[in-house]
Every structure is written in C-alpha cells, then in structure tokens.
Amino acid sequence: MVGWASPPDVTRGGRDDIVVIVNGRPVRDPALLQAVLAAYRPLLPRDRFPQVVLAVTLAPNDVDVNVHPTKAWVRFRHPRVVQEMLVAALHEALRRPAVIPTFGGEPREAVPGVEAGVGASPAEQAALFKEPAASYAATRFGRVLGQVQATFIVATTDDEVFFLDQHVVHERVLFEQVRAQLDAAPLASQALLFPETLELGPASRALLERWRGPLERLGFAFEEFGGAAVVLRAVPTLLKGDEPKRLVEAVVEELADPKAGEPTLDRALAFVACRAAIKANTPLAPEEMERLVADLETTETPYFCPHGRPIVSRVSMHDIRRELKRTW
C-alpha cells in the first residue's frame, strides 16, 4: 500500500480528494471511505475531510473487479482486512515526522493532493506496516533547551530545532492517558461539596442531555430539576480546580459548536484534556518540560492535538546553515 495523506490541519469541505486505487484502478467503496474517515477521527471536525490517495495492491484472487460494468465497484474477499490495513497505514502516516510543519518551508496548502500530504515513497511502503511502534519511543525531539514566552518548549536534535506548544503537548498526553484508563473504569470523579444549580437556556439543557453519556463517563454528574435548572453534582477530578459554573459554560460552548458533531467520548474527552492541560504563559521547570516531551514521545499521535491542531513546528538546521552561508 502506498499513497499520500494530508495532515489533519490541511482539510477540504468535501470528500472528492479521497481516492482509493485498487490494483491500478480507482474504486468506489463506501466501507473504505468510512475507514479513511475513521482513521482521521477525532482529528477532523465533522464537516472537514482529508486529502488521501492510497494505492492498494492485492493478489488478483483477493479482489473481484467484475461486479460492475465500469469496474468502479469491486468486491474484496476479505473486506475487513483491507479496511484495517488502510486504517493502520493512515495512522502510521499521521505519526510520521513529515507531518510536522516546517518553518520557512513550502506552505502545505499550496498544492492540494500529493505535495500537501505525507509522502510514503515506494521504498518506504514496507515500513508502513512493519515498523514496530517501539521505534517511536526514541527521543525524536532530542534535547530540551528551554522555554520561550513561557509557552513554547524548544528542543533540538543535530538536524532540527523543534518548537512545541506546551498546552497542546499536555492536551495530547492527557487525552491518550485518560483514554487508556477509561478502557478499565470510568474516570475519577470529584463530588461537589455543594451541588451547583445552574440556570440554563433550553438549547443548553438539550445539549447537555445529548452529551450526558460521554460527559458522565468522564466524571461529570448531572441531575435535572424541573424548569430551567440543571444540577451539577460532580466533576472530573482532573478539573476539580475549575469553578463549576464556568466549567459547564465552557462545556456548552465547546460542544454547541457544529464542529463537535455527534456526541462521542473522544470529543468530550478532548474538551476535558484541553481544559486540564497546562496553559500558555506558564513558566515550567526544566524537569517538567523534559517530562512533557518524553510523555509526548510515547503517544500514538504526537504531532496533533485531539482537535487536529499541530503540536510541533520545526526549523531545519540545514536551512539555518544555508541562511548563515556556513558551507563547512
């Protein structure tokens, strides 16, 4: 399987740029399309779509191209396997350092499609599946140098200088840690000493009702009264420092955004992780920065926050040398 996949911050309003080619022929296959979208969730808002070109090569007897006169539809002998391969390949592509925006590099939006995307050359295609996850645990961001504007962590390898936005680094780390915990149990919850009665408009109450399932798995506890009030009895322990009323207002504001889409645990969790994460303009000790960067390196998707925002920008030392006319 070879192809290109756009980073999640480079998106389109429609699905026309999602192309799957099987044995040299573009095919229409709703299940494969859904697999592509699933691989990008929850990084993309509901109404945005990636640019993806994937060419799959299958043994001739694993695919029947003669189910439709135009051969645009095909039948796979093992459709699930093909879908899972495709999701794995896209997850892999989104973990490649090629998705990191480069300062002074070509604007990634400039050429839609191939150049805008994450390249996987034929030589690399084997790695698309076979490279063990452990290889990512290496220190890909190198050594932490310090902090700029109390907001960006600066790290360097011999080849590159990285600028990491500390808030989204922490957001990504918390998101994956909490999601792993949730597989075992609901998130720790902090009961409020004094349950908070919140006067909310009908639209906000309806929204909380729709999102109640995912929010309660994350440690919120609501109880409705009649009329316009909702009672908040508990909040996720991660957010116990927040003023409850402002917290619920923030929940409503984020989830009312059409980009939030249908209620999902991941989307609600992205809210909690963002809210609990270290803010910009927070001075950090060197050990705290090292810990954050080390934790980021262990995540599955280290280059984008759960909302799809880039976490890291970089400057290549090659470009610096060129600028400074250092030729030795």
Residues that bind Zn ion (CB under 5 A): 274, 305, 307
Closest distance to Zn ion from the beta carbon of 82 (Å):
31
Nearer to Zn ion, 276 or 289 (CB): 276
Nearer to Zn ion, 87 or 169 (CB): 169
Closest distance to Zn ion from the beta carbon of 176 (Å):
13
Nearer to Zn ion, 95 or 267 (CB): 267
Nearer to Zn ion, 5 or 270 (CB): 270
Closest distance to Zn ion from the beta carbon of 268 (Å):
13
- What does residue 117 show for φ and ψ, rounded to 5 degrees? -105, -170
- Degrees (nearest 5) of the Cα angle 13, 19, 20? 145
Closest distance to Zn ion from the beta carbon of 266 (Å):
12
Closest distance to Zn ion from the beta carbon of 165 (Å):
10
Nearer to Zn ion, 267 or 307 (CB): 307
3-class SS of residue 61: helix
The secondary structure of residue 305, as a DSSP letter, is -
Q: Got the DSSP string for 221-238?
A: EEEEPSTTEEEEEEEEGG
Nearer to Zn ion, 45 or 195 (CB): 45
Whether 99 and 40 have beta carbons less than 8 Å apart is answered as: no
Closest distance to Zn ion from the beta carbon of 41 (Å):
14
- Amino acid identity, residue 289? M
Q: Got the DSSP string for 140-201?
A: TT-EEEEEETTTEEEEE-SSEEEEEEHHHHHHHHHHHHHHHHHTTSPPPEEEEEEEEEEE--
- Burial call 115-124: b when 16+ CB within 10 Å, e when fewer: ebbbebeeee
- What is the distance, to the nearest Å, from the Cα of residue 183 to the centroid of all Cα atoms in its chain? 19
Nearer to Zn ion, 307 or 314 (CB): 307
Token pair of 244 as six digits: 């409850």
Closest distance to Zn ion from the beta carbon of 201 (Å):
26
Contact partners, residue 65, CB within 8 Å, separation at least 6: 22, 23, 25, 71, 74
Give, rounded to a whole angstrom, the gap between the first and last alpha carbons of the chain. 40
